Structure 1
């Protein structure tokens, strides 16, 4: 099996330094979205929540600075924080719910050893350090910063399963690299072990259970072990461990480890110089040495979710020596290859930076968590070996079924195939026999709502992505919608009645589509009919969707009416959620009173959005339920309004700035929306093969197609007279022939060719309305 490590090694030491400033990877700005600030967002959800550290496409390692443990700080980093705790080898991208990972936290220091990170407001209490914001740098595959408290430069780069760090120290008799093995975003690992292998090497593991918080502060059921194998360029002549005595009766979730009691206990941890092996509840490792002015000391490590042997094999396969710059060039080359699948011409330099950073963010997850030898830990806790796919994790289903997975069906269909295989085998290994909606390292976290994996499978199958056990996938999809659905009533009740009913109806429809493709006529009829259940929470008297009680009665109508946030909905209002009937737009329009009434309502929905497009009560691009709505105008015979509003959203909701994302990145979804919309194509209804055509940001977008899944070599969207003012499509040609439709089928993209669009400053109200 050809792994990503094999590809990585093939590029070893062959990338010239000049290439570091060339190619699409040169446009990537990892600081876009790297803030969790509630104040800047105006809502507790915060901003992008991305991390700025080093990673490779879909890699296991993300070597990134961590600024705070605890709080709703899922990425471990927020740009406005003024101190850094350390640099961890694993991170999550763009998520809330307190986050997880942030494991194997490495920190350089000088002077007396401190065993606690200390408080953000008083960094001198612990090993955290202030840092120079001016000297903080991040590019694709690289992060560097000057730690001002000890005057140490920290740099890091990554390979798919490993990473290397380079520290430049001042002259000091007591310089140090220390590793907090207990550290975990949103909590703590609950058991660690470390041992010295030889005079340059340590190995061990960190066990992370729900008792230690993490994903959902434990409610997400995150339960995994991170193994490490680390080597130091300077010999371990003076090393040891520290061990904090955590009483058996202490709980260890987020609020516990944030407490003064816990922090003080860690601060007085027992330091054990010379100890070569230790297991415990809250451990750290350190190695001390003298340094001369500007002396560099390096550390490299492989990680694995399988074993210490796996971590060792991962490191030895990817980073054989101590050539930091070569590894950095390799990482950059991987990003150039991955991002090069989409080439854009035209647009401003800022728009290219936004585009390629967005594309970069869509290639963090779903990450490959199988080792270089193909081994991975399954849902049964046992070691398995992949044969025909890479084991992938972090499936933010409720978010990514809308844009992220449809984007990958075009540019990375093998990744979609891997994800489906991973979800299906997980359902098999656990014995659950249904598909998880938000999978995290084999955990059935239950986060958010619906059956998004059913959408992803139906969409993939319809597009010819079928290298998985189709019958088993179908069986588990059917089990999923039967376990979680609108039931015999045909609607869901309770506090999320509207959101659940509408989304379950869509996922039922998806299963109906898959059943039809597989010739399962009885199921096709049943589940397609269930796709109409959205009508069962529509109140004709109020003219909108309304939550119902178990006895069928309506819940009291609030003073704010359909505008009330959380009224039968999740992270939305009925006004926002009510547009989610992608499977039956004509039926929705009829229900809402006809096309003209719907168009007037949609006009207000967009026109009342604040200029900055931050969290609001109308078209709220900061969250997923409305992401398909701009494309509904295509379905309503007003394609020029889709063109107008997608260009507005691209310009107003995405910027080359830390606060350049108006909402959580959500594991690629926010960025994938931009990539597709800026390219002129986006689906309304995954599970259907139809993409809506809209106004591209760029003059030309060329998409490389995967020959294993597509007949064509590339598909190009080309424009004439495209400018910010010329945002309206006047005419179109597909492969040189006039094209009058405002949509395109996936098969036409996969066949390869060119869609050419002539642009103008005023709408052509005759094009695209067939």
Structure 2
């Protein structure tokens, strides 16, 4: 009996040990490729980074394999060598990217100052990534490990026996360009501090066209005393341009390769600086470096580090990072599904919790759009708002699981307009830059959706005023549409945000003339579809490919894809298109012709955002079983547990947020309207806060909802309101292998 009891106790202990937490399922390599070849399109694949970070943290310590090209994350899995490990990264973006600052590299032998000379091949099989951790071993037997806190990073290098081991830091490095001026100071025998200025003249976001202009401050401490150290300084002529093409040219790299090396120099300001510290090492000797980062000041960077990493306990910091992810990811708990599906789900949720990131210091100070230091006070300053992408799924998801983040973002955008003396809201914000990237007025959508859901801890009147001004400045013209080569995309987007402002106006008892109906002004009844129109009212020539012509009136899409974007008036859109039966047939054709792998294509192109609401239109067309069919198909065919697990750019959380919501069984068609469409969950049970979605008899075959109950009562609607989700309750779905064409139908 005693032995049996001991066996039972050991079994229970083993069970607890084997149980996986949400963070254990995270695979940061999902989407970590910029490969154009694998994607079959110049956009590349997911463009995520595999390095260590914390939920919405300011620091991302990650390997960088490339500076040039359209490689926004600075990393691509198929590359065989690493330039170094940077402390700031962007996730899932194109347009050349930015950040990738403070590039740290362990090296051996003679000092080399050009990244193409000091980059090192690595052993692919040793590369490991987890939530809050990354590790790799180079061919020269140096092992690198890294972890992070919100404002700081910790690197641990294990060296072989060598008389000339080194840690070197490229202060000029920047994804998509270069920092144009740097400063370095040796504080004492273990510490350095300094800054890197990154203006548009140094490329970066949009190769300078994105107007990114920021300064990164650092405060770094080494575990091994600084004895043999120095600075290298490349002489960059004043006449040289420093955009991306220039700094990746052979001429520029040759200039950096012959940089002047200044041993024992304690302080330096220059145009292209680096720092190194050399030491001899025994086999297996570990040297650590911890660094605080700030966008405010060197003192801020120092304070950030001292508050977050007080010792050299690498495993302790790693454990805290992992725990922070467990806590954040536990906002949604899932049961059922395969191990692979759990990995896809929690990695997707992980990717939705990188941006909009905190950019204030631990004391609440941040640099505003006016270049002055501010304190958020009632909100946390956030940055990286990929508006055109994230208003569709990412921000609606955050209104459910992180409403305070939504408040932070709206406050950050509204106060930024005042700081920059602008009378409108930015559509793609990066570190206070009004980049003007992409189209539409997505911040208006986010504000409207927040207000509709009772998220209102910001200056509502100012948010409304800026929304109105955004539409006046950029919205559809007095013609009732936006003319030109992107006429369809602009007109439909602005019609939607007209509706958003109209909703705000009604709630605030204001007057706003437009009602969101401008989309009708570019519908050609002869062709039966939307068509770009010129300023003189004439249609642009209809192409031989018809509505399948990429970029015909559209941005990164064709009219067949972009034309479904009338979320504010689906009934009106259906009437224009010829009625429900015709639209359903057209939509079924749209999906049926989509390639099995769902990579970039002319039909349902999940790799790009304009179609992300389209599967849920079947709910609005009284065919909810088709929404169930196609969302399950997209979850299965477009998301995988692997490097090529995303069919398109992650786009700062949008691609992943779509999966999180759809796999949970809900998704909006129209942000600003609190209606959430119900679809077929991937998992048997999903718990979001106090709201539970149960799917009985769920399986890869049983994808159709047979019946439903909400809080114990029969429920025959294919949608649910946001307020019912956040107040808590239970939505029970009974699943089966064939459609129930009676459930969810509006009589």
TM-score normalised according to structure 2 size: 0.97
Report the Cα offset of residue 386 of structure 1: 1.1
Whole-angstrom distance in 2 between the partners of 1:593 and 1:92: 43
| Residue number in structure 2 paired with 1:555 | 540
Aligned: 1:718 with 2:694: yes
Matches within 5 A, 1:246-261: 246-261=236-251
Matches within 5 A, 1:752-763: 752-763=728-739
| Residue number in structure 2 paired with 1:747 | 723
| Residue number in structure 2 paired with 1:667 | 652
Whole-angstrom distance in 2 between the partners of 1:385 and 1:670: 32
Whole-angstrom distance in 1 between the partners of 2:322 and 2:497: 39
Match of 1:235 among 213, 222, 225: 225
**Quick one: structure 1 residues 34 and 508, their matched pair in 2 at CA, closer, same or farther if it must change by over 3 Å?**
same
Report the Cα offset of residue 19 of structure 1: 7.8
Aligned: 1:579 with 2:564: yes
Aligned: 1:38 with 2:36: yes
Match of 2:185 among 183, 195, 198: 195
Whole-angstrom distance in 2 between the partners of 1:728 and 1:527: 39
Whole-angstrom distance in 2 between the partners of 1:116 and 1:575: 48
Post-superposition Cα deviations, 1:167-204, rounded to whole Å, max 9, x if no partner, equal: 00000011000000000000000000000000000000
Post-superposition Cα deviations, 1:546-604, rounded to whole Å, max 9, x if no partner, equal: 00111010011111111100001000001100000000000000000011110110011
Report the Cα offset of residue 515 of structure 1: 1.1
| Residue number in structure 1 paired with 2:4 | none
| Residue number in structure 1 paired with 2:622 | 637
Report the Cα offset of residue 527 of structure 1: 2.7
Report the Cα offset of residue 367 of structure 1: 0.1
Whole-angstrom distance in 1 between the partners of 2:44 and 2:485: 24
C-alpha contact 1:20 1:332 (8 A) present in aligned 2: no
Whole-angstrom distance in 2 between the partners of 1:747 and 1:331: 32
| Residue number in structure 1 paired with 2:79 | 81
Aligned: 1:92 with 2:87: no
Post-superposition Cα deviations, 1:320-360, rounded to whole Å, max 9, x if no partner, equal: 00000000000000000000000000000000000000000
Report the Cα offset of residue 21 of structure 1: 7.3
Q: CA RMSD in A?
A: 0.8
Report the Cα offset of residue 373 of structure 1: 0.3
Aligned: 1:624 with 2:609: yes
| Residue number in structure 1 paired with 2:376 | 386
| Residue number in structure 1 paired with 2:514 | 527
| Residue number in structure 1 paired with 2:449 | 459
Whole-angstrom distance in 2 between the partners of 1:181 and 1:286: 11
SS at the partner of 1:146? strand
| Residue number in structure 2 paired with 1:735 | 711
Whole-angstrom distance in 1 between the partners of 2:723 and 2:415: 28
Whole-angstrom distance in 1 between the partners of 2:466 and 2:382: 18
| Residue number in structure 2 paired with 1:12 | none
| Residue number in structure 2 paired with 1:538 | 523
Whole-angstrom distance in 2 between the partners of 1:257 and 1:212: 9
Aligned: 1:137 with 2:128: yes
Whole-angstrom distance in 2 between the partners of 1:84 and 1:666: 24
Match of 1:500 among 490, 499, 505: 490
C-alpha contact 1:59 1:364 (8 A) present in aligned 2: yes
Report the Cα offset of residue 516 of structure 1: 1.1
Post-superposition Cα deviations, 1:434-472, rounded to whole Å, max 9, x if no partner, equal: 100000000000000000000000000000100001001
Whole-angstrom distance in 1 between the partners of 2:642 and 2:514: 45
Whole-angstrom distance in 2 between the partners of 1:488 and 1:19: 66
Aligned: 1:60 with 2:45: no
SS at the partner of 2:514? helix
Runs of 4+ in structure 1 deviating by more than 3 angstroms, as ranges, are 18-22
Report the Cα offset of residue 402 of structure 1: 0.1
Whole-angstrom distance in 2 between the partners of 1:349 and 1:516: 47
Match of 1:158 among 148, 152, 159: 148
Whole-angstrom distance in 2 between the partners of 1:20 and 1:554: 64
**Quick one: structure 1 residues 155 and 182, their matched pair in 2 at CA, closer, same or farther if it must change by over 3 Å?**
same
Q: Which runs of 5+ in 1 are unaligned?
A: 1-17, 119-125, 705-713
Whole-angstrom distance in 2 between the partners of 1:428 and 1:740: 47
Report the Cα offset of residue 258 of structure 1: 1.1
| Residue number in structure 2 paired with 1:3 | none
SS at the partner of 2:145? strand
Whole-angstrom distance in 1 between the partners of 2:176 and 2:189: 34
SS at the partner of 1:132? strand
| Residue number in structure 1 paired with 2:256 | 266
Whole-angstrom distance in 1 between the partners of 2:406 and 2:726: 15
| Residue number in structure 2 paired with 1:211 | 201
Match of 2:587 among 587, 591, 602: 602
Whole-angstrom distance in 2 between the partners of 1:422 and 1:769: 41
Post-superposition Cα deviations, 1:54-89, rounded to whole Å, max 9, x if no partner, equal: 000000000000001110000000000010000000
Report the Cα offset of residue 512 of structure 1: 0.7
Report the Cα offset of residue 514 of structure 1: 1.0
**Quick one: structure 1 residues 221 and 21, their matched pair in 2 at CA, closer, same or farther if it must change by over 3 Å?**
farther
Matched residue count = 731
Report the Cα offset of residue 487 of structure 1: 1.4
Report the Cα offset of residue 433 of structure 1: 2.0
C-alpha contact 1:20 1:26 (8 A) present in aligned 2: no
| Residue number in structure 1 paired with 2:365 | 375
SS at the partner of 2:187? strand
Report the Cα offset of residue 22 of structure 1: 3.6
Whole-angstrom distance in 2 between the partners of 1:747 and 1:270: 64
Report the Cα offset of residue 418 of structure 1: 0.3
C-alpha contact 1:455 1:510 (8 A) present in aligned 2: yes
| Residue number in structure 2 paired with 1:6 | none
TM-score normalised according to structure 1 size: 0.94
| Residue number in structure 2 paired with 1:481 | 471
Report the Cα offset of residue 611 of structure 1: 0.5
SS at the partner of 1:70? coil
Post-superposition Cα deviations, 1:185-239, rounded to whole Å, max 9, x if no partner, equal: 0000000000000000000000000000000000000100000000000000110
Whole-angstrom distance in 2 between the partners of 1:109 and 1:582: 55
| Residue number in structure 1 paired with 2:323 | 333
SS at the partner of 2:627? helix
Report the Cα offset of residue 609 of structure 1: 0.5
Whole-angstrom distance in 1 between the partners of 2:376 and 2:67: 34
**Quick one: structure 1 residues 176 and 19, their matched pair in 2 at CA, closer, same or farther if it must change by over 3 Å?**
farther
C-alpha contact 1:20 1:329 (8 A) present in aligned 2: no
Whole-angstrom distance in 2 between the partners of 1:563 and 1:537: 17
| Residue number in structure 1 paired with 2:338 | 348
| Residue number in structure 2 paired with 1:651 | 636
SS at the partner of 1:327? helix
Whole-angstrom distance in 2 between the partners of 1:390 and 1:645: 38
| Residue number in structure 2 paired with 1:710 | none
Report the Cα offset of residue 20 of structure 1: 10
Whole-angstrom distance in 2 between the partners of 1:527 and 1:742: 30
